[in-house]
Amino acid sequence: MNVIATRTANKKRGEIEMKEVEQRNRRHVTFSKRKLGLFNKLTELSVLCQVEAAVIITSQNGKFYSCGYPDPDAVVRRYLTGGPPLRRNPADNRGQHDLLEKQRLEYEAIQNQLKEEKKRLEEIQGTRNNNGFFFAAPWWNLPAEDIGFEDLQQFKTSLECLKFNLIGALQEKQMNSVPSMQPSTVPPPMPYTVVPPMSSTMVPPISQFFSAQRFSRNQVQGDDYRRSGAIASTSSSTFASSGFGSQENYRYTN
């Protein structure tokens, strides 16, 4: 139990075991972060204590990186030769100090801005995890009071593009949601009747006209009306020429 408690306490303190990073990509990332932190510490030490310092490191690929104040080459040269410290004009030192102080203030401002952005990113990610959506804190809900004129124009264009994309996506969803007609429910094509061309010498007997099949309203086509009229006129002229149905063949008796 004591061992477990000790391990838990050590884990809570955030102690990291010092060992080589196994993955090569993570090793490069760790090197870049630690290198930047080392250079920052060296710069702070030089500015706060007014000392000359330099550091030289090499990456796993054999690339050299150096940082120093006032100059890494001058510091290394002085170390190798054992020479005295560099004498500078007080005015130059004052100007150099002012420049370093300005850079330090800019560095602190950038660091504070970076912390705020990280905090904001954590809040966005936390809200996204709670709501389950990627756009939990959407950009279109951000306050627009502090946005400049050009940014507002770009913001308006972005909103219009968003509206256009949403309308297109909605229409596509609506079209996909309509169930497509199954092959069994598709009505069959309307039947049509093909009537061969007829002349006055090819007219069938009159009995076939009376026994001809009647077509339904859906089966009658436009050409059928015209053909039926032509057949009727042809049959009438045939009947009249043969004398069948004329008044001379009928006798009325009292």
Query: What are the angstrom distances between the C-alpha of 121 and each of 116, 129, 149, 166, 171?
Result: 9, 12, 26, 26, 34
Counted residue by residue, the chain has a size of 254
Amino acid letter, residue 160: E
CA distance 84 to 23: 45
Nearest to 226 by CA among 197, 191, 188, 185: 197
CA distances from 69 to 49, 62, 102, 105, 121 (A): 11, 24, 15, 17, 35
- Per-residue pLDDT of the chain (254 residues), as tens digits, is 333 444 444 555 566 777 888 888 888 888 888 888 888 888 888 877 878 889 999 888 888 898 888 788 888 888 888 877 665 555 666 777 777 778 778 878 888 888 888 888 887 777 655 555 444 445 666 666 666 777 778 888 888 888 888 898 888 888 888 665 455 554 554 444 333 444 444 444 444 444 444 444 444 444 454 555 554 455 445 444 444 444 444 444 44
Q: Is the pTM of this model over 0.95?
A: no
Beta strands in 125-222 (DSSP E): none
| pLDDT recorded at residue 60 | 83
Domains and CATH numbers, the chain: 20-87 (3.40.1810.10)
CB 72 within 8 A of CB 54: yes
